[in-house]
Structure 1
């Protein structure tokens, strides 16, 4: 699936949400860990235009020093893929595969687009997302206020999305995002809604 570009993610409020937590670190520059899928790695977008690249630059201009991100994400990843990658990372750092690595001043999480696209029921996505969110909070040193959760953009309005039962997929995405919102609120993580700006594609096709 083709992804919305970096500038539209920033317009959605990522900058504002990150600015609220980027100054929480005790070092001169805040560490930044980002977890996710194609939306996180910026598939189809040049490195300098990815939101994960632009974020430190923009925050620096506003007096917030943020390290370049440590990215645990790849195109096509599902929640299971991301969980496996985090397990491998934990094992490589000397953990047991369930340990959480504290210390990141800012952690972002955006996952679920590929689970929804592949037709995974919302009931199966819920425990997977809750596990990943718990890990993200652990990576932030058990500080949920330092975790920024991004909702899943509505890809059903893109040309590819229109070819794959968009009505059913939109309903599934709505259910997924309800899970994302509920879990984030329950754990005290910050939420950035990307759904509303992503739906502008219907009137502004140049956003794709």
Structure 2
């Protein structure tokens, strides 16, 4: 009888330990959700590539692979937009007050239309200030991307390619200086865009815009900056 009681008691103790062990709660790490605002023109929406292949969506996908949670990017961009058109579009867009980070790529259409470079200087600065405001007034969370050189594309084969390259460089130098003054981040992808001169795979089917592969090359470099400053 004593042996049966002892076995019964041991069984209860053992079962109790099992229950406690199974019910132990370990705190789970809560992953933060990040939001992303992309401002620009055709280079931002990814003219002539699938939506998932434009650089904002490729960037989001790459960041999410690293166990981060970045929501689908909010994109304010349209083919052909100049700085003033982007400014007006932002005013009429329903945007959040604050985003985790913001990218800005604008200016090629100012150059293409022959607008005054002084106009670009004023309006780019205004756009950068808006981008910083949307990043919670934190310039470290804003990433300016240089203007690609479309002069090397088939689209520009009958144009003055040297003039295009020279003017694109002038626009980029202005954007770089304004970005530095504001203490935001700057990514120079123009050299990558010029690789398309000898690599047709970097140009989309329309003969003008970047292909998904070129965007991928941008994103590899952009992701390094974003990871360093945002996460």
Q: Shorter-chain TM-score: which interval?
A: 0.7 to 0.9
Selected match of 1:175 from 166, 170, 193: 170
> Which has the higher mean CA deviation after the structures are superposed, 141-150 or 49-58?
49-58
Q: Which residue of 1 aligns with 2:65?
A: 61
Q: Normalized against structure 2, the TM-score is what?
A: 0.71
Q: For 1:27 and 1:127, how far apart are their aligned partners in 2?
A: 39
Indicate conservation of the 8 Å contact 1:31/1:66, yes or no. yes
Q: For 1:53 and 1:164, how far apart are their aligned partners in 2?
A: 32
Indicate conservation of the 8 Å contact 2:45/2:77, yes or no. yes
Q: Which residue of 1 aligns with 2:79?
A: 75
Q: Residue 103 of structure 2 aligns to a residue in which SS?
A: strand
Q: Which residue of 2 aligns with 1:42?
A: 46
Alpha-carbon shift at residue 169 of structure 1 (Å)? 1.7
Q: Which residue of 2 aligns with 1:13?
A: none
Pairwise CA RMSD: 1.7
What is the number of equivalent residue pairs in this alignment? Answer: 174
Alpha-carbon shift at residue 65 of structure 1 (Å)? 1.8
Indicate conservation of the 8 Å contact 1:30/1:65, yes or no. yes
Structure 1: 5+ residue stretches without partners: 1-25, 94-100
Indicate conservation of the 8 Å contact 1:104/1:140, yes or no. yes
Alpha-carbon shift at residue 168 of structure 1 (Å)? 1.6
Alpha-carbon shift at residue 27 of structure 1 (Å)? 7.4
**1:181 to 1:71, Cα distance in 2 relative to 1, 3 A:** same
Q: For 1:159 and 1:122, how far apart are their aligned partners in 2?
A: 25
**1:74 to 1:27, Cα distance in 2 relative to 1, 3 A:** farther
Q: Which residue of 2 aligns with 1:144?
A: 139
Q: Residue 104 of structure 1 aligns to a residue in which SS?
A: coil
Q: For 1:27 and 1:118, how far apart are their aligned partners in 2?
A: 45
- Greater radius of gyration (CA): 2
Q: Deviation above 6 Å: which 4+ runs of structure 1?
A: none
Q: Which residue of 1 aligns with 2:37?
A: 33
Q: Normalized against structure 1, the TM-score is what?
A: 0.79
**Which deviations, in whole Å up to 9, do the C-alpha atoms of 1:108-134 show, x marking residues without a partner?**
000001111111132221101001000
After superposition, where does 1:4-153 map in structure 2 within 5 Å? Answer: 28-89=32-93, 102-153=97-148
